[in-house]
Homo-oligomer: A and B are copies of this chain.
Amino acid sequence: MTLTVHHLKRSQSERIIWLCEELNIPYELKVYAREPTLSAPEPYRNIHWSGTAPVIQDGELALAESGAIVEYILSKYGNGKLVIKPDQPNYADYLFWFHHANGSVQPTITTMVFAEFAKISPDDPGQLIMRNRFQIGLSGMDKRLGEFEYLAGNELTGADIMMVFSLTTMRLFLPYSLEEFPNIMAYLDRVGKREAYQRAMKKGDPDLRPVLDGIPQDTFF
């Protein structure tokens, strides 16, 4: 069986390339450019019925959803790496940060992106709720990263694989600043120095300078 990672450029699928590079496992990488509308091209949308990125194939299996793919690859090919097990003291931390990425941080940013698209006033009450949630989330993350080098503890885990996209490439969609969060900035600096992260970004998005500093970026569309 061959593990194939289908990467839609500038998307959450960069997580899966990074994961494979950290695990140092064999995989075939297929890279797809976004359409001018930012949608995934049709061949990408047809791999899994959901049409979402990321998606992998493993033999007959096509699997979507970042969280599912990361758990699947860690369980099947991870050999115990990058996982915190139930008998370890930081198991609940691992679970929290793993699920917080796509359960809270990413949806909050996405809602704010769609509000920008629709030109909703920044003073709209719903948007104030979202911005407030987002600030609480970043503050909590900054506090955590003042105590530990990575989210689940002092080693990189699947929780970081899930979270980093929202703090980096996602800022091409919503150009927010991280300058008031020095521990998150130091964390991104550590991530950016990892050879596996550098290899992943070069393979998946070779024409993109990884968004690792704290400064708001220009959106790319």
The residues of A with any CB-CB pair to B shorter than 8 Å are 49-52, 61, 63-68, 71-72, 75-76, 86, 91-92, 95-96, 98-100, 102-104, 106-107, 110-111, 114-115, 117-118, 120, 124-127, 130, 133, 136-137, 140, 143
Contacts and interface: CB of A to CB of B under 8 A. Distances in A.
Nearest to A116: B126
Contact of A51 (B61, B66, B118, B136): B136
Contact of A103 (B66, B95, B115): B66
Contacts of A107: 102, 106-107, 110-111
Contacts of A65: 95-96, 99-100, 103-104
Contacts of A103: 65-68, 102-103
A66 B100 contact: no
Contact of A68 (B71, B92, B110, B114): B92
Nearest to A124: B118
A173 to B, nearest CB: 12
A114 B137 contact: no
A148 to B, nearest CB: 15
Contacts of A72: 91-92, 95
Copies of this chain in the oligomer: 2
A50 B140 contact: yes
A17 to B, nearest CB: 18
B118 A64 contact: no
B136 A100 contact: no
13 contacts: A50-B100, A52-B104, A63-B95, A63-B96, A65-B95, A65-B96, A66-B99, A67-B98, A72-B92, A99-B102, A114-B127, A117-B126, A118-B124
Given A66-B103, A103-B66, A125 B117 contact: yes
Contact of A111 (B64, B66, B111, B137): B111
Given A103-B103, A104-B52, A126-B114, A98 B68 contact: yes
Given A63-B95, A68-B95, A71-B95, 13 more contacts: A50-B104, A50-B140, A51-B133, A52-B104, A64-B96, A65-B100, A67-B99, A68-B96, A75-B91, A107-B110, A111-B111, A117-B124, A118-B120
